[in-house]
Chains A and B, each alone.
Chain A
């Protein structure tokens, strides 16, 4: 009964470093997505996927890459971290009833 699992929970990077935020779901949802949450701005969609092999950009995709090789996994890659990417990141999958299930979040700080 894991739902959506995100790792790591916390990460500190230096400017220019790369890293991958992992996301896995065990509900067989086709739709998966990544959001970032910043104070006063709600959640903004970074990238999403409607199935294995299919990804698309959201509102704020710049500086992030994604891939979807399996139904279960949807990693988010930061190729060259910038201080503006300091945020809390949430992965979510969506059921056929249109309900999003969120992971616990990953807090990223870029120095």
Chain B
């Protein structure tokens, strides 16, 4: 079974610090990796996508991918209280050019003022 694993948290980080969120996946053929942020009562919002090994930076967010270790992470620098949310790791395991994501159950992040 193709799985995506995340630590459910809560992960508590002081304001201004770096929040580090981790995700592992089981399907070695996975090609596309995404991070979504979901506020309580809202739908998921795409914040990062990454397709190749290494780091990808976008503002305060950095996604890191290591396909050999089947590991993807998200770093949030200068954490703000507004970053408090559930962060969902998603992997496209469909193959054949089809879309459809497998999600982890999410990490609940709390930024403490």
Q: Are A and B interaction partners?
A: no
